[in-house]
Amino acid sequence: MTETLIKIFQIKELRSKIIFTALMFAVYRLGTHIPVPGIDSISLMNYFNSAGGALFNIYNLFSGGALGRFSIFALGVMPYISASIIMQLMTAVLPSLERLQKEEGEYGRWKISQYTRYLTIAIASAQSFGLSLWLTTIKTETGLSLISINSVSFVVTTTVIVTTGTVFLMWIGEKITEFGIGNGISMIILAGIVAEVIPAIIHTYQLLKVGELSVLTMAVAVMVIVMVVAGIVYIQEAERRIPINYARRNVALMSSASYLPFKLNPSGVIPIIFAVAILMFPATIAQFFAQSSKVAQVIVDALSPHSYIYFGLYVALIVFFSYFYTAILINPVDIADNLRRSGAFIPGVRAGSHTVEYINFVLTRLILAGSVFLASIAILPMLLIKWLNVPFYFGGTSALIVVVVALDTIHQIEAYLSMKKYEGFLRRDRDV
């Protein structure tokens, strides 16, 4: 382990990427502790703890505690994720956007990224406006307002500051992707979850110490989390290998064997993030009107992370986005085309449309198994936490994100290490 770490920091490019990512994390964590002007952060946290419920705890976990302190990064990267979902759905539906993405090359992808950024600003503006307007109506237990300045000024100022904070986080995520390690947006979510896990562990230990939580209950919860992490690693590393042959003519007809690898979960952590973002969006909007509207309260209760309706929708969305995002990542027609051009074939399957049908058949079964397994791991800890009443929100969703993003990052680092060895081999050849 120590030798591997030494090798990592010996590679200048990899070392620079890791340092850059760490610096961006530091900026992000600093921003989560800078509160929006004009609000009593302590009273707000007390209110959220007493009345926020499970929805607040989940959202606060994803924002790295920024929502509870109502900092400049209160919305986190959720508006960007929501915008990405909308744009990808629109790309699949609107032919003009589909052509822009597939036929315009780099320019088309840049244009769609621009549309996603504009949509992020619109969503963040709407959410920050609604959130700030809702905060002006909240009173503390003593009947005092949480806001210390004029309500209109607070709403305008907060909307601008929180929206700007979201845009800045989006920029940080893009820079991490470009100059750092891993996918920037996923890394920001990872940093937020990990930062909140340590206080959650301390709080759980305190409850265990005073006797509010039994040792048996805590042991069961820890055992489930360990099993979940093991299951996630299995899902991410499992793959189906379809054998392929490359025919070539020398003196006689020969063939060299290889294979097409398909992950059990090709879309990684994206289905979970998308599912959480979609379920949180209507629940958050309804939360603003829950005190004055019975319909809004029904929506909040139905989409609470502890309700069985939430579990059902969560599973359905994970399965849906597993298929949807895999369809974006993997195109069987292109794969079959590339095989034909390179003189390769799948044994027992004809080239062309038959190969496309076979790959589609394999992917359909593979993704179904992977997505159901993924959804089961996601909701199992949440169900046990609901039944055991453990106040520890490092459940299936957050564990999935942390482990999957960590595995992807490790694979990237391993790729850099392998590339370094390959470059060294080339240098020795040139010297000889």
Could you list the pLDDT tens digit for every one of the 432 residues in the chain? 566 667 777 778 888 888 999 999 999 999 988 888 888 777 777 777 665 555 566 677 777 778 778 889 988 888 898 888 888 888 877 888 878 877 777 788 888 889 999 999 999 998 888 888 888 887 766 667 778 888 888 899 999 999 999 999 999 999 998 898 888 888 898 888 888 777 777 777 787 788 777 777 778 777 877 887 888 888 878 888 888 887 654 444 444 448 888 888 888 778 887 887 788 777 777 776 766 777 877 887 787 777 788 888 888 988 998 888 888 888 888 888 888 888 888 888 888 888 889 899 988 988 888 888 888 877 776 676 667 666 555 556 777 778 888 888 888 887 777 776 644 434 444 443
Which string of DSSP letters, residue by residue, matches 96-162? HHHHHHHHSHHHHHHHHHHHHHHHHHHHHHHHHHHHHHHHTT-B-TTS-BSB-S-HHHHHHHHHHHH
What confidence score (pLDDT) does residue 385 get?
Answer: 65
- Domains in the chain with CATH codes: 20-196 (1.10.3370.10), 213-432 (1.10.3370.10)
What the block records as the tokens of 413 is 């680092």
What pLDDT is attached to residue 399? 76
The predicted pLDDT at position 120 comes to 93
Give DSSP secondary structure letters for 291-330.
Answer: TT-HHHHHHHHHTSTTSHHHHHHHHHHHHHHHHHHHHHH-
Q: Which helix (H) or strand (E) holds 253?
A: strand 253-263
Q: Length of the chain in residues, anyone? A: 432
Q: What pLDDT, on the 0 to 100 scale, is given for residue 381? A: 66
pLDDT at position 249: 43
Answer for the pair 77, 84: CB distance below 8 angstroms, yes or no. no
Cβ atoms of 174 and 47 within 8 Å: the answer is: no
- pTM for the whole thing? 0.76
pLDDT value, residue 171: 93
Gap between the terminal Cα atoms of the chain: 33
pLDDT at residue 256, rounded to an integer = 45
Q: What is the pLDDT of residue 422?
A: 46
Helix, strand and coil content of the chain, in percent to the nearest 5, comes to 75, 5, 20
Question: Would you state the torsion angle of the CA atoms of residues 317, 322, 325, 328, taken in this order, to the nearest 10 degrees?
Answer: -140
